[in-house]
Amino acid sequence: MNRLLPKLLFFFSLSLFVSCTIRVGENNSDRQVSSQTSAENGVDGEEEHLSFIGAGDKINIQVYNEKELSGVYQVSPEGYINFPFIGEIKVDGLNIFTLATKISSKLKEGYLKDPNVTVLVEEFVSKRIFVLGQVKKAGSFPIRRSMSVIEAISLAGGFTNLADLSNVVVTRKGSDGRERRFVVDIKSIVNGAKENFYLDAGDIVFVGERFF
């Protein structure tokens, strides 16, 4: 019995790992997860992970028919932007919808009658993804809206000669604190056989080494 115990523990641990690892592109629709369609909790992944604005983020603010007000604004380290007519606005911690409403309300105070404001975040400097393993420049990178795994690997300088393109693992921590692993086949994505895989803030992309 004492000799069997280590083996039983090994197989139990292995089964837990396999249960949390998902191969992207399998027929089961629950297994095709991206930042746009999250099977984990049924909500838009970008809204869940990327909507809150932080220091350093680049925000594209468009005011309909007001070109002098529209443009890209970068959030200061203190969490503010300087907007025409309004002055400094605290944006850190707001989502894009709340900020659009806030700017619209401020512009109504003697500047514009009925402003139509939309806000998009061009680049989430405050939120990052991590690319490790067989890439030329491993590290952390700001995540942009709708960033795919291929774009992330490009930011890391591309693959090394030892990279296994069919076995890229994305590790993602869910809202419940559990980590899930998605195996992404880059070859199949490039060939058009599978859909691209989109990242969420905090994702870890690991490119494994191929075996000869």
Give yes or no for a contact between 35 and 43, defined as CB atoms under 8 angstroms apart.
no
For residues 9-33, give the mean pLDDT: 42
The encoded tokens of residue 4 equal 């069997």
> pLDDT per residue over 80-105, tens digit each?
999 998 999 999 989 999 999 999 99
> pLDDT per residue over 181-209, tens digit each?
999 999 899 888 888 999 988 899 999 99
Domain 23-40+126-209 has CATH 3.40.250.10: no
Amino acid at 170: V
Give yes or no for a contact between 174 and 180, defined as CB atoms under 8 angstroms apart.
yes
Q: Are strands 204-209 and 117-133 parallel, antiparallel or unpaired?
A: parallel
The domain spans of the chain are 23-40+126-209, 50-123
Residue 62, pLDDT score: 95
Using the structure block, give the residue that is written with the tokens 């990178």. Answer: 141
Fold topology of 50-123: wza like fold (3.30.1950)
Which residues, 6+ apart, have CB-to-CB distance to 23 below 8 Å?
A: 31, 182, 183, 185
Express as a percent the part of the chain with pLDDT over 70.
75
> pLDDT per residue over 136-145, tens digit each?
999 999 887 7
Residue 144, pLDDT score: 78
What is d(CA 200, CA 148) in angstroms, rounded to the nearest whole number?
9
Give yes or no for a contact between 115 and 64, defined as CB atoms under 8 angstroms apart.
yes
Please determine, for residue 171, whether its predicted confidence score (pLDDT) is greater than 90.
yes
What is d(CA 27, CA 22) in angstroms, rounded to the nearest whole number?
11
- How many residues are there in the chain? 212
